[in-house]
Amino acid sequence: MPHPTAVRIADAALEVLGTGGIHALSHARVDATAGLPSGSTSNYFRTRARLVDGAVERLRQIDTESFQARLAAGFPGSVDELIAAYVAFTDDALGPSRVRTAARFVIFAQGVVEPTLLEQLNADRRLLSEWTAAALVSLGVRQATEVAPLLLAGIEGLLQHHLSGFTPGPAEPDVRRLITALTNSRA
């Protein structure tokens, strides 16, 4: 999706998904959200399904850039640094990237009935799980490959609880408790 207008449209689709859900997604609504003339979205994404695919592709692009930055920074040198990395991630997901986080959950929920939507998102989950497992191994955590997906599931659950208002306040204490509990059995 290299064309700047396609990126703008995909970002607007994520905005619509994250603020209105899957049923709010329409070409006209995305045109309006992107500030583009009527019909622009359908010029790039002919069908609603292709528009959702474009939003998923855009999430993948954003995730890849974020993941590459994480890789460049190297592995955390301690459990406290791992906690800090995930606190920064959750703070961003619940703050500046809140709408995009909500859009991701909308797409995951829709993926229950349209499994092809999940292919790219689950590929990103696997990359993050592999990075987390490698970080846990470097910290001496036992069964790191089993712990990593549990840690990610816990983080996703925390995000859902905070997004939905079920758990008020900052996520940092919950992230700290989760990672501490999962990493307390070191090799």
User: pLDDT tens, 53-103?
Assistant: 999 999 989 988 887 887 788 889 999 999 999 999 999 999 999 999 999
The tokens describing 164, both together, are 């939905």
State the Cα–Cα distance between residues 11 and 5, nearest whole angstrom. 10
Selected residue with higher pLDDT from 123 and 157: 157
Residues 87 and 54 in one domain: no
Tell me the residue range of the domain where 32 lies. 1-58
Q: At CA 16, angle to CA 29 and CA 41, rounded to 5?
A: 45
Contact predicate 187/176, CB 8 Å: no
Mean pLDDT, residues 23-49: 96
Predicted TM-score (pTM) of the model is: 0.90
Mean pLDDT, residues 103-118: 90
For the chain, what is the mean pLDDT? Answer: 92
Residues 96 and 164 in one domain: yes
Residues 127 and 172 in one domain: yes
